[in-house]
Amino acid sequence: MLKRIWNFISGLATVWGFAPSTVAAYVSSAVWAAIMVAVGLVEQVPIFWIMGALPLVLAAFFTLFLRVGQWRERKDPRNKFKFVSPHLGTQFLPKQQNEVPRVSILQLGTVMRNDASFPISLIFENAETSIGRLRPPRGAFPRPPRRVDPGEVVASVDDPIAMNGTPCGQRLFGHMHIKVRYGYPGKEIYPLEIMGSVEIELTEDGKVHLSFARDVMPGGTANAA
């Protein structure tokens, strides 16, 4: 009997040691208030004092549930991996004298950020990008998981699109559809899709400007970037 009691106390102490300090404090308050009411009933304390202590017990337990819910929400990766902006990679051909720059490669993708207070695992699930009628060769998807630390900003880009020396001094139009999944390592269960139209301005001096209009997803709204 004593061994069972000792094992129970040891297990409880172990769990208590892993509990966050704020949660442990509210648990202590709630349990202690409940013990006070129970002792009052057993010892036949006047009902007036029990009625006075009962609201404190209820308040302690409601506060406990609230704090536990807040702690769980902070530890939940859902909606904590955010789309920041589109990404455009550019590579030019060697410039010839008295010739406008020519584009060799363009590469579309997204920039995302981990807004959680803990690392998130990211899987680049699929990508479909195009500029005009040009598309990249199909790479291997999904790609291996990658770790994204708190506050870290990462780019997920599709394979390069060969532009065949497209001269600058014009506007190009395209589309991209990026799919990722994120979550705890081994539990990347939360999807994030970025889909929209792109407009690329290639100026004659070799500068590149990207505009992106995010499409409306089924059953939801769109964010413009």
Each domain of the chain, given as residue ranges in start order, spans: 2-74, 81-214
More confident residue, 169 or 71: 169
Whole-number pLDDT of residue 214: 87
Candidate from 17-21, 104-108, 139-143, 197-201 with smallest mean pLDDT: 17-21
Residue-wise pLDDT tens digits, 80-118: 899 999 999 999 998 888 888 999 999 999 999 999 888
Peptide bond into 101 cis (omega under 30): no
Predicted confidence (pLDDT) at residue 34 exceeds the cutoff of 90? no
3-state secondary structure 26-88: HHHHHHHHHHHHHHHHHCCCCHHHHHHHHHHHHHHHHHHHHHHHHHHHHCCCCCCEEEEEEEE
In CATH, 81-214 is 3.40.630: no
Beta strands in the chain (DSSP E): 81-92, 102-114, 120-131, 146-148, 153-157, 161-167, 170-184, 187-202, 208-214
Grade residue 79 by pLDDT with cuts at 50, 70 and 90: confident
**Over 70: is that where the pLDDT of 38 sits?**
no
> Which residue has better confidence, 221 or 158?
158
pLDDT band at 17 (very low <50, low <70, confident <90, very high): very low
Banded model confidence at residue 64, pLDDT cuts 50, 70, 90: low
